[in-house]
Structure formats: structure tokens, C-alpha cells
Amino acid sequence: MRILVATDFSPRSQRAVRRAGILAAQNSGVVILMHVVEGPDCAETAQDFREARLMTIEQIAVVPQLYRVPCVPLVARGRPSDAIRTAATVHSIDLIVAGYRCGAPTFGLRRTVGSLIRDAPCPILFVRRKAAAYARVLVPVDLSDASERALQSTVHLGLANRARVTVLHAFFAPGKARLRASGVSRGQIAGYVEGCRSRAARDVEAFLAGAGLSDWKWTRQIEEGGPRETIPRIAEDGLSDLLVIGTHTRSRLGKALLGSVTDDVLSTEGPDVLVVPSPRSRRGWLTWLTSRVGWSEPGPQVTATTAGRASAVGGQTCAR
């Protein structure tokens, strides 16, 4: 597994670096530690560029979760979301990891997060809690292709091998309010709702079978209500370490962007969130971006030791 973790050397990104180290160690992966220097390609930022390269190497050396994990320092110049997407594509990244502060993020962070959700070439893990091995993973499904991608990513990233996975499906009971207004007894309404729940459970089983995932011993949780209310409520109950969400669209006005279920989840306290974007055509996109975003060649592979030192293999990192 190749993991790209974005760092600005803040406590928020420090949590993300630790998480990347844990995942890489569990999956025999490689971590690319990336910092983006914002600003024009000019002499004024050259010193920042050099200092950033040294700081990334130092961070690799002092983070315990990166001990004995192959790490590569990488420094980019430009808009963070563009630079991260470019690096993820160029280096065939399987997972992007970034820190995220709960509550109301700054406008810049909110813009970067929205852009990554819309255009990232691979899943993005937003780290919000202290790093520890994931033991409980929650995957909401609406029986769509996006849900299947979320489940498949859970398997592909090795999360299903070490954690208890719960598949959550929210359903509506059509006409329930009308039955209540018509004087139907509570017992009859409850029976009707349970019938809807049973049908929803059968739909989930058929969905898992169609995706080739029915053999996994995952817990099923069928809840009445809409996804925008149900998913944040279940995610906030403290019983999950990670929430995996598949997005439906790349449109700027689509439901995948902030302002939808993803925003509802990220805006409240809760577990880490793994967002699995929908695929998109990349014809001409990479060429366009690389002509506008500068970055250094990845530095030599750095392996941190338990003595807190970093040893570099290969030549020196150089900026283009």
C-alpha cells in the first residue's frame, strides 16, 4: 500500500502522520510524507522550500509510528489540494491521509477538503482522533455504486481484516405519518415499520451478494430514518473508530460536497472519516495541473529508527 500523508507540522497533521504509520505497518506499506509550500515559484519561497524538506525528514525521524516504515519526504509548491491530487496520481497512491479539526474549520481548510472530496484519485482518510488501531468500522450503504466502492475500499485497504465492520442502512417507512393521522393503532404501525425493516434487510443482503461481499461476517444494522440524520447519530455514539462513506458525484453542486452527509459528519465530533470518491475521467487533467504546480522530486527513502534518528538512502532531494 502506498500512503500519501499531508502535513503542515501542526498537531492536527501530527495525528494524521501517526495514523499513516499505523496503516503502513499493518499493510507492509510505504508512506510519502508531503508538505505544500503555498506561494509563487520565486526566490522568496526558496528558503521555505529548503526548510520544509528538512522538517519533513525530521518529522519522519521523531514519530514513533513511522519506525521501520519506509518513508519518502516530498515537498510541493502551489495550492494544497492541487498539489496533493497531482502527487497522488503521479505516485500511484492508494490512500491520502490528512488531519481534520472537528467543528468549524477555516475557510482555507474547508476549501481544500471540498476539493479533495470532489477530485481525489483515491480514498481520503480524514483523521480526527488520536492514533490507535481501528477496531470498529461503520460503513453506511444506500445500495448504490458509491456504497459498493466504500465496502470494496474497506476490504482493499485491509480494514476488514482487523476490525469489526458494521454495515449501516437507513430506510423510510412510506406513509407512516398518514397511518398515524388516520388513527391506526401503534401496534399496527409498529408492525408495518418492522415489515419495512425486514424488506430493507433483505435488500442489503442482496446488495452484498451482488457485490461479492456476502461471505464477510459483517454486522448488519438497519435503522429507520433519513441518512442525513441517521449516519451522524450512529457515528457519534462512540461505538465506531472509523466511518467509511462513498460519494455519489463530482459536481460542485452535488451531494458529495460539503453541505451534505459528509459535511454533517465532519462538522460534528465523531470517529475518523474515510471518504471514497467516485471515479472520473482524467484526460488532460494531469497535464494541466502539472504545468501549474511545482514540487520537488521525492527525497531519498528515509527509515526512522527507535533511536529517534533518520537514515537516508540514495541521493539528495532536489527541487525543480
70-91 pLDDT, tens digit per residue, is 999 999 888 888 899 999 999 9
Question: What is the rounded (10 degree) CA torsion for 169, 165, 135, 102?
Answer: -30
Which residue has 503521479 as its cell numbers? 90
Q: For residues 292 and 296, give the distance between their C-alpha atoms in angstroms, rounded to a whole number.
A: 14
Q: For residues 127 and 188, give the distance between their C-alpha atoms in angstroms, rounded to a whole number.
A: 44
State which amino acid sits at residue 251: S
198-221 pLDDT, tens digit per residue, is 999 999 999 999 999 999 999 999
Q: From the CB of residue 40, how many other CB atoms can be counted at a distance below 10 Å? A: 10
Mean pLDDT of the chain: 80
2-26 pLDDT, tens digit per residue, is 999 999 888 888 999 999 999 999 9
Q: From the CB of residue 97, how many other CB atoms can be counted at a distance below 10 Å? A: 30
Return the pLDDT at 309. Answer: 39
Residue 127 has pLDDT above 90, yes or no: yes
Q: Are 105 and 258 in contact (CB under 8 A)?
A: no
pLDDT grade for 306, boundaries at 50, 70 and 90 = very low
Q: Are 214 and 205 in contact (CB under 8 A)?
A: yes
Query: All 3 cell numbers of residue 141?
Result: 450503504
Return the pLDDT at 293. Answer: 44
34-63 pLDDT, tens digit per residue, is 999 876 655 566 778 888 889 999 999 999
Longest dimension (CA), the chain: 79
Return the pLDDT at 43. Answer: 57
Q: For residues 115 and 20, give the distance between their C-alpha atoms in angstroms, rounded to a whole number.
A: 21
270-284 pLDDT, tens digit per residue, is 899 999 987 753 433
pTM, whole model, 2 decimals? 0.82
State which amino acid sits at residue 277: P
Instruction: Name, in order, each residue with C-beta under 8 angstroms of 270's C-beta and a sequence gap of 6 or more.
Output: 102, 128, 232, 235, 236, 240, 243
